[in-house]
């Protein structure tokens, strides 16, 4: 027994209504037909109250009305077939989306009910009732297109010919005659930020003037600063019947991304030859980082400041790393080579634990510039011999007179070591901390010059079981540690009062004066008498 592939014509026609993504496909198919007919303008009139849609264009017109109703066969000439690869299904959307159709073109007209057409009834093409004015007019009755203003505005943003809705021309910001484009291996490309260096917020992909991927239409219509690509339809194919997505989309997107990247590389190299190195980095670092082109900076004698950080504030577990990192200026290769600026790798600090705290405190005290290797291309001179602090042995030792006491707070309970200073040995380098405390090996090391309790934020992040920050507990532990450290440091009342007055603002009228101060035992108001 022999068999062959067969087609149930009635079933194929009946099920064709489910092939299109949504009602908006009707607009797209009508506009595409006018474009392929060589039209230079299209007017769309829509009467929502009566469900009437009229599309008028000045294209070449319809020479064969039967071709409109021949599914899976295209009546376009060889040039259009080669360039656009039409599927021969577009007009079927008209049959599924309306009740009645009337067409006039080239002195002929055709009028029919869509249900009769779908049942394959014969229809008569007659001479037009009106003189031929060179226009093709398609009138549809019983059409429902919700939010047609928004829908058609999305569709024509990159369309190659003028489109008007109810006589009002629609913006076509992404059309090839509205922006600057360059020819590439994938088609015509517009790069947002070519002059400013501001990275694009996305990529709008068009094929035959139609935006790909319907799910992104709101995004593309609401945002400026997009890279715009009009794909070469002889190299890329979209999914039938409504061309909403590319065939083999993931594979094709790799090609598209690569072509955009190549175009950016060419532009960056050209701009590097024109601009001062610092100005070039400032303007184009972000876009180079976005497209993986950081190697364009490798031959410059500057290390981009965008890849560098310095620890300018006290590092804790409470605050995110960005809170105490500042960005320096660009570093010259000469400054690094001479040792005037010292570099180390930033990666270690993302751990945010006790070991990273000692490295952070060391880096801050040593004045190191921390380099983020993810923002520097391999082969950059700054990466040669870059210190990896996380791989270096580190120890902290309290020095001078030592006293210890136990601190018990809301989130912190540990021994506190009062000392003159803290010696940090990191790799082969050493620094002394005299004003900042450090949590190390389960103890708080508290040097003489420290007057606050911020070190508790190196011990705990003060978050509860629901990851909510306990601000009150943190503030109380902060204050209580500072108070207890002050008490333990002062062996007598005079030294305690001296410590309390150490941070008193310098009021000119108090300078050089002597006072007798009496503190009542009941914590009432103190008595102050000027002695001299």
Local confidence band at 81 (pLDDT 50, 70, 90 cut-offs)? very low
Which residues, at least 6 apart from 467, have a Cβ–Cβ distance to it below 8 Å? none
The answer on pLDDT for 512 being more than 50 is yes
Is residue 157 exposed (0-12), middle (13-18) or buried (19+ Cβ within 10 Å)?
A: buried
Mean pLDDT, all residues of the chain:
85
Q: How far apart are CA 507 and CA 513, in angstroms?
A: 11
Q: How far apart are CA 461 and CA 442, in angstroms?
A: 15
Element housing 93 (H / E)? helix 92-97
Q: What is the pLDDT of residue 4?
A: 67
Q: What is the pLDDT of residue 87?
A: 41
Element housing 190 (H / E)? strand 187-190
Question: Which carries the bigger pLDDT value, residue 54 or residue 77?
Answer: 54
Cβ atoms of 293 and 264 within 8 Å: the answer is yes
Residue-wise pLDDT for 430-447, tens only, equals: 999 999 999 999 999 999
Cβ atoms of 208 and 85 within 8 Å: the answer is no
Residue closest to 206 by CA, chosen among 241, 154, 266: 154
Rounded to an integer, the average pLDDT of 267-290 is: 96
- Give the number of other CB atoms < 10 A from CB of residue 469: 12
Q: What is the pLDDT of residue 98?
A: 82
Cβ atoms of 499 and 429 within 8 Å: the answer is no
Q: What is the pLDDT of residue 324?
A: 63
The answer on pLDDT for 317 being more than 50 is yes
Of the listed ranges 37-41, 52-56, 107-111, 315-319, the one predicted with least confidence? 315-319
Question: Which carries the bigger pLDDT value, residue 200 or residue 42?
Answer: 42
Structure token pair of residue 19: 């092939």
The answer on pLDDT for 118 being more than 90 is no
Q: What is the pLDDT of residue 431?
A: 97
The answer on pLDDT for 89 being more than 60 is no
The answer on pLDDT for 48 being more than 70 is yes
Strand partners, 302: 332
Rounded to an integer, the average pLDDT of 127-155 is: 87
What is the maximal distance between C-alpha atoms in the chain?
A: 126
Q: What letter would DSSP give residue 437?
A: -
By three-state DSSP, how is residue 495 classified?
helix
Look-up of token digits 């620890």 = 311
Q: What is the pLDDT of residue 217?
A: 47
Residue-wise pLDDT for 389-406, tens only, equals: 989 999 999 999 899 999
Look-up of token digits 């577990």 = 317
Question: Which carries the bigger pLDDT value, residue 459 or residue 243?
Answer: 459
Q: What letter would DSSP give residue 206?
A: E
Question: Which carries the bigger pLDDT value, residue 93 or residue 306?
Answer: 306
Q: What is the pLDDT of residue 242?
A: 59
Residue-wise pLDDT for 64-80, tens only, equals: 888 777 665 555 445 54
Question: Which carries the bigger pLDDT value, residue 240 or residue 393?
Answer: 393
Q: How far apart are CA 103 and CA 128, in angstroms?
A: 9
Cβ atoms of 377 and 297 within 8 Å: the answer is yes
Rounded to an integer, the average pLDDT of 491-499 is: 78
- Count of CA atoms in the C-beta half-sphere (13 A) of 192: 18
Look-up of token digits 């004003």 = 435
Question: Which carries the bigger pLDDT value, residue 23 or residue 520?
Answer: 520
Q: How far apart are CA 302 and CA 333, in angstroms?
A: 6
Q: What is the pLDDT of residue 218?
A: 45
DSSP string of 273-342?
HHS-HHHHHHHHHHHHHHTT-GGGGTTSSEE-GGGEEEE-S---SSS-GGGGEE--PPEEHHHHHHTSS-
Alpha-carbon radius of gyration of the chain: 37
The answer on pLDDT for 36 being more than 60 is yes
Question: Which carries the bigger pLDDT value, residue 479 or residue 497?
Answer: 479
The answer on pLDDT for 215 being more than 50 is no
User: How many whole angstroms from its chain centre is CA 12?
Assistant: 44
Residue-wise pLDDT for 6-22, tens only, equals: 665 665 555 555 444 55
210-211/203-207 β-pairing: antiparallel
Question: Which carries the bigger pLDDT value, residue 189 or residue 322?
Answer: 189
Local confidence band at 144 (pLDDT 50, 70, 90 cut-offs)? confident
Q: How far apart are CA 265 and CA 257, in angstroms?
A: 12
Q: How far apart are CA 243 and CA 205, in angstroms?
A: 12
The answer on pLDDT for 56 being more than 50 is yes
Which residues, at least 6 apart from 442, have a Cβ–Cβ distance to it below 8 Å? 414, 415
Q: What is the pLDDT of residue 229?
A: 94
Local confidence band at 307 (pLDDT 50, 70, 90 cut-offs)? very high
Q: What is the pLDDT of residue 225?
A: 83
Q: What is the pLDDT of residue 22?
A: 56
Cβ atoms of 448 and 434 within 8 Å: the answer is yes
Of the listed ranges 82-96, 235-249, 259-273, 379-393, the one predicted with least confidence? 82-96
Most confident among 218-222, 490-494, 500-504 (mean pLDDT): 490-494
Residue-wise pLDDT for 339-386, tens only, equals: 999 999 976 555 556 678 899 999 999 999 999 999 999 999 999 999
Q: What is the dihedral of CA 165, 170, 172, 178, to 10 degrees?
A: 130
Which residues, at least 6 apart from 356, have a Cβ–Cβ distance to it below 8 Å? 348, 349, 350, 390
Q: What is the pLDDT of residue 131?
A: 86
- Angle value at C-alpha 472, between 467 and 478, nearest 5 degrees: 105
Describe the chain by its helix, strand, coil percentages, rounded to 5: 35, 25, 40
């Amino acid at each position: 027994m022999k068999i062959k592939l067969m087609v149930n014509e009635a079933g194929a026609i009946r099920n064709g209504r489910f092939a299109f993504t949504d009602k908006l496909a009707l607009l797209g198919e009508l506009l595409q037909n006018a474009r392929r007919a060589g039209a230079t303008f299209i007017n769309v009139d829509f009467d929502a109250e009566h469900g009437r849609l009229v599309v008028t264009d000045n294209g070449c017109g319809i020479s064969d009305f039967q071709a409109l109703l021949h599914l899976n066969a295209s009546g376009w000439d060889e040039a259009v077939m080669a360039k656009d690869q039409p599927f021969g299904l577009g007009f079927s959307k008209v049959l599924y989306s309306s009740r009645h159709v009337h067409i006039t073109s080239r002195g002929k007209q055709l009028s029919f009910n869509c249900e009769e057409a779908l049942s394959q009834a014969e229809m008569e093409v007659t001479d037009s009732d009106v003189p031929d004015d060179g226009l093709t007019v398609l009138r549809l009755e019983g059409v429902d297109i919700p939010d047609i203003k928004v829908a058609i505005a999305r569709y024509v943003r990159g369309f190659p010919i003028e489109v008007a809705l109810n006589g009002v021309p629609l913006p076509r910001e992404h059309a090839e005659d509205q922006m600057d484009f360059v020819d590439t291996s994938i088609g015509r490309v517009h790069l947002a930020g070519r002059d400013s260096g501001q990275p694009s917020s996305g990529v709008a992909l068009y094929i035959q003037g139609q935006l790909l991927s319907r799910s992104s239409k709101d995004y593309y219509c609401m945002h400026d600063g997009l890279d715009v690509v009009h794909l070469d339809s002889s190299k890329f194919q979209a999914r039938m019947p409504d061309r909403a997505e590319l065939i083999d989309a993931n594979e094709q997107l790799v090609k598209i991304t690569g072509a955009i990247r190549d175009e950016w590389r060419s532009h960056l190299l050209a701009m590097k030859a024109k601009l001062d190195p610092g100005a070039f980095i400032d303007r184009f670092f972000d876009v180079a980082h976005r497209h993986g082109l950081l190697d364009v900076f490798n031959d410059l004698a500057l290390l981009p400041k965008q890849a560098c950080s310095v620890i300018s504030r006290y590092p804790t577990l409470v605050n995110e790393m960005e809170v105490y990192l500042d960005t320096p200026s660009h570093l010259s290769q000469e400054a690094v080579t001479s040792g005037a600026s010292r570099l180390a790798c930033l990666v270690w600090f993302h751990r945010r634990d006790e070991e990273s705290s000692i490295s952070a405190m060391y880096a801050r005290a040593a004045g190191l510039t921390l380099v983020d290797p993810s923002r520097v291309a391999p082969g950059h001179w700054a990466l040669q011999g870059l210190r990896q602090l996380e791989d270096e042995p580190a120890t902290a030792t309290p020095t001078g007179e030592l006293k210890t006491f136990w601190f018990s707070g809301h989130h912190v309970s540990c021994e506190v070591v009062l000392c003159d200073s803290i010696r940090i040995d990191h790799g082969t380098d050493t620094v002394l901390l005299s004003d900042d405390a450090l949590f190390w090996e389960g103890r708080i090391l508290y040097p003489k010059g420290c007057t606050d309790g911020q070190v508790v934020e190196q011990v705990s992040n003060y978050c509860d079981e629901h990851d909510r920050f306990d601000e009150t507990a943190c503030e109380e532990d902060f204050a209580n540690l500072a108070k207890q450290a002050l008490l333990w440091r002062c062996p007598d009342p005079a030294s305690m009062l001296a410590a309390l007055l150490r941070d008193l603002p310098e009021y000119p009228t108090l300078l050089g004066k002597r006072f007798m101060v009496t503190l009542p035992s009941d914590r009432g108001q103190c008595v102050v008498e000027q002695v001299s």
